[in-house]
Structure 1
Amino acid sequence: MAKKFKDISMAVIRRLPKYHRYLKELLDKEVYRISSKELSNMMGFTASQIRQDLNNFGGFGQQGYGYNVEELYGEIKKILGLNISYGTVIIGSGNLGQAIANYTNLQKHGFNLLALFDTNPKLIGMRIRDVPIYDIDEMQEFIDTNNINIGIICTPKEFAQDIANKLVKANVSAIWNFAPIDLKVPENIIVENVHLSDSLFIISYLLNNQEKEQWD
């Protein structure tokens, strides 16, 4: 029996996209059946961990058979909510905002990018992959009339909290934040912070300590 959402740990949830990605690769290779052991060899999780993770959602394997890859992929897709379309906007149309707008997997997985917003008059009126860039002053009205679920913040740090406040006021449900700041929003607003420098600093730490160990 599947657990309730509130009982599933964030660690399990953060592993789900990896299951989605590897299962898609198996389907692309026309592999339609796989055991938990074979899946563990691919993904780097133990077979026991895979079974535990999937059991949170009801369990999908059959003893002696393993997993039907196509069925499991479909179930993971539904669990992740990728069978739904989400109205999405990007705030901040500089290099990072444009790079995300050009990321084709957004549309492929149901994140329907409808607009970008900026304050730079040189950018306003441009189109990125046929998606228009509007003046930031038009954001509230656009969100109100276009059923926007997700706001992606790609602004400098000093503007990010103000933008987040405006997105909350416009009744956006979730924020994907690329600005290097931890946003303060109401508890009912979902925020996923992507601090690119944090990942780079982890690499720096690991590289630094690996080199130290080589000299010890």
Structure 2
Amino acid sequence: MDRESKVSMTVIRRLPKYYRYLGELLNKGITRISSQELSKLTGFTASQIRQDLNNFGGFGQQGYGYNVEDLHKELGIILGLDKMYNAVIAGAGNLGQAIANYKGFEDAGVKVLSLFDKNPKMIGLKIRDIEIRDVDLLSQFIKDNDVEIGIITTPKDNAQEVADIYARSGIKGIWNFAPADLIVPDDIVVENVHLNESLFTLSYFLKNHPSFDTES
């Protein structure tokens, strides 16, 4: 949708939080909620919530608020959760295995088909019935199984090489956990999860928060 293509990244990054809280409300049997009530849950202002949702159409009714089930469903569609995406993981170390073990991916529309590694001792092992294959088979596996998402959990030095394989093989989106800035074609979406950078940010706030003044 052309309208959605103009939505800022800041707004897009708030949508998963709305979706999560609406899911929790559904589980509690709550059928409707106002923007003011949603504001108390999410920490965003009621005005901000209304503006965010208005980017995608009118979901609320004045005097009624939002139908929780309908809004949850619509946000799921906007986030692409009504589709199933095949994914692979390059790097079958501890992090790769932890991601493969996470059962919540299928709820998010992502099915991990296989892990890949260059360590011969890992080849043939299974993580939650997901087989670890030789990385030399990665490109052909992607093409044969209509894989759209490539996950990178390799060391930094191998990340770009994997990204190149993904790009050549038709991957549309990369979820990158390696501490490396990848160079990929413009038509490939990259979402970086740099754990060290997140930890460094936490460390900064701990150091500079008045309650954690190490000088006193």
Residue 107 of structure 1: how far off its partner (Å): 1.6
Is 1:11 the counterpart of 2:17 in the alignment?
A: no
Contact 2:89 2:152 in 1 (8 A): yes
Counterpart of 2:101?
102
Superposition TM-score, scaled by structure 1 size: 0.96
Report the equivalent of 2:139: 140
Q: CA RMSD in A?
A: 1.4
Instruction: Describe the SS at the equivalent of 1:4.
Output: helix
Matched letter for residue 123 of structure 1: M
2:132 maps to amino acid: I
State the Cα distance separating 1:212 from its structure 2 match. Answer: 7.8
Alpha-carbon deviation of 1:22? 0.4
Where in structure 1 do 4 or more consecutive aligned residues deviate above 6 Å? none
In the alignment of these two chains, the number of paired residues is: 215
Q: Does structure 1 residue 190 correspond to structure 2 residue 194?
A: no
Paired-residue identity, %:
58
> 1:27: Cα distance to partner?
0.4
Cross-structure match for 1:81: 80
Please tell me the residue identity of whatever aligns with 1:147. Answer: D
Q: Any idea what the Cα deviations from partners look like across 1:175-207, whole Å, max 9, x if unmatched?
A: 000000110001110000100011111111011
Counterpart for residue 206 of structure 1? 205
Contact 2:4 2:56 in 1 (8 A): no
What CA distance in whole angstroms lies between the structure 1 residues aligned with 2:190 and 2:52? 23
Structure 2 CA distance for aligned equivalents of residues 164 and 22 of structure 1: 34
Aligned to 2:43: 44
Aligned AA (2:90): I
Q: Which residue of the partner structure matches residue 181 of structure 1?
A: 180
Unaligned 5+ runs, structure 1: none
Tell me the TM-score normalised to structure 2 length: 0.96
State the 1:59 CA deviation: 2.1
Q: Is the 8 A contact 1:87 1:147 kept in 2?
A: yes
Aligned: 1:116 with 2:115: yes
Q: Deviations over 1:85-125 (max 9, x none)?
A: 00100000000000000111112221011010001111110
The CA deviation at 1:29 is 0.6
The answer to whether the Cα contact below 8 Å between 1:3 and 1:58 also exists between their aligned partners in 2 is no
Q: Match of 1:26?
A: 25
Cα 1:86/1:9, change in 2 over 3 Å: same
Q: Deviations over 1:23-73 (max 9, x none)?
A: 000001111110000000010000000000000000200000000000000
Q: What is the CA–CA distance in structure 2 between the aligned matches of 1:108 and 1:65, rounded to whole Å? A: 29
Deviation at 1:3, TM superposition (A): 6.0
